[in-house]
Amino acid sequence: MASVTPLHRTPPAEPPALHARAMDNLRFIRDTMEAAGAFTAVSGWGMVAVGVIAAIAATIASAQHSVLASIYTWMVAAVLAPCVMLWAIVRKARRAHVPLLSGPGRKFVLSFSPPMFVGALLTVILYRAGLVEAIPGTWLLLYGTAVVAGGAFSVKIVPVMGFCFMLAGTLAIFTPATWNDWIMAAAFGGLHIAFGVPIALRHGG
Amino acid sequence: MRADALDRLIHERLRLGIVSALAVNDSLSFSDLKKLMKTTDGNLSVHARKLEEAEYITCTKSFEGRMPKTEYRLTTAGRRALERYLDHMEALIRATRER
């Protein structure tokens, strides 16, 4: 027997609201960008700014007469630089319409933070032990470790920069303390600028 | 914002995906995009061609050894189109919330 089509069909389900479709599209764009794996929450221009701060800090630190005074100068830069970087990261994420702590961004923070926390703790330990000469090398090594770990979820250039910081840290550990300011200037200043510019130009700011 | 201001060219899912992926990469190969979009060669070619015709992306063909390689890049026009599209979507969401 042939099938019978009823005259009064059930009304089709209501199409999704316009804003729901818009949100779905935004989610799709974000997911695609994250899956493409090359969006880096790290701000290239932020890195350039951090590099400039480091270069200024290096100039001031090298004019100090003691290693401790030089360390204090770097500590001021170490407080100022993350604030500038954070501002640049937030600005970049807003411009790219990417949530700051979703997907790769969250993974980056979770991987980046532990070595930085250890670095802060070791600074106190080394300071108390009177081993201030070892602080710059430790900072560079742990900052490099943090960047390599966080960079595993970012564009390739980020972990490469981390390895360069680790190399600089190794150099600082095995060279005279008088070299520390120059190594710190070359790493925190030079590397941030050298890697920051291509990141800014190729990876969204 | 008028509904007809929507860029129909990148409103289509696969094309929107191509433009979004290229927005966060310097360039992507045909096979990278195919994997990322989980689509077929034919489908990707058709949609990539449309974006190319609109000058939203550029396509470079070369050889890597003996293997042909097709590389796509987002143009400035393509990036602007994506930004406009994002603004459009956000405006739609904002308008609904304000209602």
Domains and CATH numbers, chain B: 3-98 (1.10.10.10)
User: Contact A191/A164 with Cβ under 8 angstroms?
Assistant: yes
* Contact assignment for B92 to A32 by CB distance below 8 Å: no
Is A10 within the bounds of a domain? no
In tens, the pLDDT along A30-59 reads 888 877 765 566 788 999 999 999 999 989
Lowest-confidence segment of A73-82, A125-134, B46-55, B59-68 by average pLDDT: B59-68
HEC string of B13-52?
Answer: HHHHHHHHHHHCCCCEEHHHHHHHHCCCHHHHHHHHHHHH
The pTM for the full model equals: 0.61
The CA distances from residue A157 to A32, A52, A150, B5, B82, in Å, are: 20, 20, 12, 38, 25
Q: Is the Cα torsion angle B9, B12, B14, B16 positive or negative in sign? A: positive
Q: Do B24 and A204 touch (CB under 8 A)?
A: yes
Sign of CA dihedral B85, B90, B94, B96: positive
Distance CA A167, CA A84 (A): 25
Q: Does this complex have an ipTM over 0.90?
A: no
Task: For residue A19, give the nearest of B25, B82, B96 by CB distance.
Answer: B96
Residue given tokens 């470079």 in the structure block: B60
Q: Tell whether A9 is covered by a domain.
A: no
The residues, any chain, with a CB within 8 Å of residue A67's CB and separated by 6 or more, are: A132, A133, A177, A180
Q: Is residue A13's pLDDT more than 70?
A: no
- Residue B2 with chain A: CB contacts under 8 Å: none
Instruction: Tally the domains of chain A.
Output: 1
The shortest CB-CB distance from A22 to any of B25, B28, B89 is to B89
Q: Which residue has the tokens 């390895």?
A: A163
Q: Chain B residues with CB inside 8 Å of A18's CB?
A: 92, 96
Kindly determine whether residue A36 and residue B86, on different chains, have CB atoms separated by under 8 Å.
Answer: no
Task: Give domain status of residue A26, yes or no.
Answer: no
Q: Is residue A7 part of a domain?
A: no
Give the pLDDT confidence of A96-149 residue by residue, as tens digits.
Answer: 666 666 566 677 788 889 999 999 999 999 999 999 889 999 999 999 999 999
Does A14 score more than 60 pLDDT? no
